[in-house]
Copies of this chain bind each other. A is one copy, B any other.
Amino acid sequence: MYFQALFIFSLLIISSSQAAVLDFCVGDLSLPDGPGGYACKKPSKVTSDDFVFSGLATPVKLIPLIKAAVTPAFAPQFPGLNGLGISMARLDLAIGGVIPMHTHPGASEVLYVVQGEICAGFISSSDNKVFFKTLKQGDIMVFPQGLLHFQINSGKTSALAIVSFSSPTPGLQITDFALFANDLPTELVAATTFLDAALIKKLKGVLGGTN
């Protein structure tokens, strides 16, 4: 006989009704959340579908003027990631497309070039040194936590990249949007960026900022 023993089924007295904190915590977005993420969906209601997300299979519509789009699979979109220290996103860049300077306040990022050619880089905080390189299909690049970085389609075809983050909720702060698509009074933007008021007002107009 290949198996030498007749087990009793309930070897251990960990009831499945209490399983949530053991293996996973699929987020229940209808409950109050906490600093560590969403509250857990009841284990009895969790199915395979909770761990699979198809929202990256097709790109969202490109933003015409950056000729690019970011499609996140963070915990709010994919609650199966809740509490697991990881997430993904899809970058689509048409010819000439750009993901402008941005940061992820709470995560490091690794980018994988699925298709095309991408020039990507980040800026160190201590000495403003720029680390950048042109990546070809299959190359990966890491962007350390919280630093300004960018991606540009530097090839002659559209480009596709998958990026992964060291947090289920990495955040995304695009510098232009943060500075100009807000209601911070123009004089405060001017004082803190050293750009002049006329330019700021113009950018606010374009990006939907006020004041």
A22–B171 contact, CB under 8 A?
A: yes
Q: Which residue of B is nearest A120, CB measured?
A: B52
For this chain, the copies found in one complex come to 6
Binary CB contact string for chain A from 38 to 52 against chain B (1 if under 8 A, 0 otherwise): 111001001111111
**A93 smallest CB distance to B (angstroms):** 11
* CB neighbours of A138 from chain B (8 A): 54, 56-58
A86–B184 contact, CB under 8 A?
A: no
Q: Which residue of B is nearest A75, CB measured?
A: B21
A16–B123 contact, CB under 8 A?
A: no
User: Does A158 reach chain B (CB closer than 8 Å)?
Assistant: no
How many chain A residues touch the partner (CB < 8 A)? 150
* CB neighbours of A35 from chain B (8 A): 25, 36-38, 40, 82-84
Q: Which residue of B is nearest A9, CB measured?
A: B208
A72–B37 contact, CB under 8 A?
A: no
Q: Which residue of B is nearest A207, CB measured?
A: B7
Q: Which residues of A contact B (CB under 8 A)?
A: 1-9, 11-16, 18-25, 28-29, 31-40, 43, 46-54, 56-58, 60, 63-66, 69-78, 80-88, 98-101, 103-110, 112, 114, 119, 121-133, 135-148, 150, 152, 162, 164-166, 168-169, 171-179, 181-184, 188, 190-196, 199, 202-203, 206-209
